[in-house]
Amino acid sequence: MKTFRCCVVVLLSAFVALTCFAQSVSGPEAANSSVSTSRAVSSAPAVASNPAGASDRGFTFSSNFSGNHDSSSGWSSVIDSSVRYDFSKIFGVELGMPYYLAHNGYSSTVVTRLSTNPPLVTTYNALGDMYLKLHFAAPETSFGYSATITGTAPTGDTSSGISTGRPTFDLNNHFEHSFAFLAPFAELGIGDSSALINHRVRRPYTTLGPVSHYKAGASFDFLKFFNFEGSAYEDLPIGDQKVYSHLFLPSKTGRLVRTINGKTRRFARATVDTGQGILEDNGLSSILTINVGSHIALTGSYERSLRQSMDTVALGMSFTFGRAAQKPSGQ
């Protein structure tokens, strides 16, 4: 039954992607007409923002510094740098890697008793998993379809749970349509790691196992430089999951440390935990972006996990140079 559910989600995602791209390329003469061009402009504002005659090819270099705070592990800081090359307005490739400047966890030399948790301590300098993204877009569609396929290599630190030590993947489908300043959107996807679902939010754990994810909301621009996005999300595990906690820092003795507290969340009890369908998550999120020119953007986000009863706040600054710097959103 678990395998059947996983196959159904994969087939649905693939069918949606093929349908959208088939619609995008089915009318070549429409793409050459001025009427069709104006429709493509209205449904794909990022492409339309390029000056007339500008090439759809080119490199984009970006680096994002963010400070994250969640109600379990406190503050952490991450730098995520990447390089992207767009072959056309339909396809692009991106390669990047996060670097953790600092993150908090429990000291492995301490074992708690009863309902107490050990104090958080800070560790510094840890690599994350290198990732490769394939970006697809169907700009001729009226519903603004795009898709991202992400794969990772296990280059990150496994001792603190940042990396699972295994390659992971994710497929995300995005639908969006603009009505003046308002742009409703919906997303659905499937993968095998919770870390790939939302790069903006760093959770104090990573799950390994089949997981489907859904998101719906809207974004709107105001006062020329501001963009606000509000959404609701659902992350639904499919079958057995392995949970890697970020809360346990490596020990020189190599011991597996547990916190003896049955009331804490599962990722706060042990370095690694397993179970069927564990750590399902759903909640609400909001993001405010301030575009400071064409190369710099400031972001602030808040996420409330209803399922895990956890709050996460993130503040960031991103720098973008190259082709994508022409876009007002800096994406």
The pLDDT value recorded for residue 104 is: 84
Total structural domains within the chain: 1
Residue 100: pLDDT band (50, 70, 90) is very high
Q: pLDDT tens, 14-63?
A: 444 444 444 444 444 333 433 333 333 333 333 334 443 357 899 999 99
The pLDDT value recorded for residue 167 is: 96
Residue 203: name the closest of 76, 38, 306 by CA. Answer: 76
- The residue behind tokens 């800081």 is 77
Residue 57: name the closest of 273, 322, 279, 263 by CA. Answer: 322
Q: CATH number for the domain including 11?
A: 2.40.160.40
Q: pLDDT tens, 163-179?
A: 899 999 999 999 999 99
Look at residue 161 and tell me if it is in a domain.
yes
Catalogue the E-assigned strands of the chain.
58-70, 74-86, 91-106, 120-127, 130-138, 145-153, 168-176, 182-193, 205-222, 226-237, 240-245, 272-276, 281-292, 296-305, 310-322
For residue 65 the two structure tokens come to 């510094």
Look at residue 292 and tell me if it is in a domain.
yes
Q: Which are the contacts of 205, defined by CB distance < 8 A and separation ≥ 6?
A: 161, 194, 243, 244, 245, 246, 247, 267, 279
Residue 22: give the domain boundaries.
2-326
Q: Is the pLDDT of residue 71 over 90?
A: no
35, with CB counted inside 10 A (0-12, 13-18, 19+), is: exposed
pLDDT > 90 fraction of the chain, expressed in percent and rounded: 50
Indicate the DSSP class of residue 51.
P
Highest mean pLDDT among 41-50, 182-191, 241-250, 305-314: 182-191
Determine phi and psi for 112, rounding to 5 degrees. Answer: -85, 165
Look at residue 286 and tell me if it is in a domain.
yes
Average pLDDT score over residue span 243-272? 65
What pairing do the DSSP bridges indicate for beta strands 182-193 and 91-106? unpaired
Q: What count of other Cβ atoms lies within 10 Å of the Cβ of residue 313?
A: 15
Angle at 94 between CA 22 and CA 178, to 5 degrees: 50
The pLDDT value recorded for residue 122 is: 83
Look at residue 123 and tell me if it is in a domain.
yes
**This prediction's pTM:** 0.77
Contact in structure between 54 and 307 (CB atoms under 8 Å)? no
Look at residue 331 and tell me if it is in a domain.
no
The pLDDT value recorded for residue 108 is: 62
What's the length of the chain? Answer: 331
The pLDDT value recorded for residue 56 is: 84
What b/e readout covers 209-232, taking b as 16+ CB neighbours within 10 angstroms?
A: bbbbbebebebbbeeeeebebebe
Look at residue 52 and tell me if it is in a domain.
yes
The pLDDT value recorded for residue 54 is: 54
